[in-house]
Amino acid sequence: MPSDNKPLLILGTGSFAVEIAEVASEIPGVVVAGFVENLDRARCAEPLDGRRVYWIDELGALAATHRVVCGLGTTHRSRFTEQAEALHCEFATLMHPTARVPASSSLGKGTILHPGVIVASHTRLGAHVCVNRAATIGHHTQVGDFVTIGPGVNLAGNCRIGNAVYIGIGATIIDHVTIGPHSVVGAGAVVTEDVPERVLVVGVPAKILKRNIEGK
């Protein structure tokens, strides 16, 4: 959903960042210029998937001419986005051409919708949300910042999803459910009641397996 022709840099150098680059490249008007590393400078020595890898400190000189988006699946990606923000980077919001979002719904900065995602009416996704392949999000649902929604997730209407929640592949959350910040919903779980913050829930129906966690 770019408004100009600024090239895009992907924050991250893992396999998920490479996937994000491919998703972005399929969006008309988006040109992926490279990746950004912030932990191990040695990773900048060689191209990744045919593109240059920049060191985080180089972003300051690129901020005026490039946009960035975070290519990390972890809910702890705020550490990387905060570094980019401190260097005055502008975040892109990406929606694959096969994703669907009605005019009554909104996407925050840095949010990424993969192929086949469907967002229903009057729903708000926060900043830096990653919604993976073929996930569905129901009407009047609120999704916080730094949330990861896995492939094939079915998130029903009138739900409230806290910041930095991770919802695993194929999970189902029924309507009017609230999930507290930093919690994790295991793959294939069926959530039928509210989930407190900082817990791991698994199973059908989902039950608490661990407490005092910090997302995933």
Task: Give the residue-averaged pLDDT of 148-168.
Answer: 98
Q: What is the pLDDT of residue 164?
A: 97
Coil/strand/helix, residue 49: coil
**Statement: residue 15 has pLDDT above 90:** yes
Q: What is the pLDDT of residue 4?
A: 62
pTM: 0.95
- pLDDT tier at 214, thresholds 50, 70, 90: confident
End-to-end CA distance of the chain: 28
Which residue in 193, 195, 175, 176 sits closest to 184, CA to CA? 195
**Statement: residue 195 has pLDDT above 70:** yes
Which tokens go with 160?
A: 């409230």
Domains and CATH numbers, the chain: 8-92 (3.40.50.20), 93-207 (2.160.10.10)
Q: What is the pLDDT of residue 5?
A: 81
Q: Please give the positions annotated as active site.
A: 139
Task: Give the residue-averaged pLDDT of 164-189.
Answer: 98
Task: Give the residue-averaged pLDDT of 151-178.
Answer: 98
User: Which DSSP category does 45 fall into?
Assistant: G
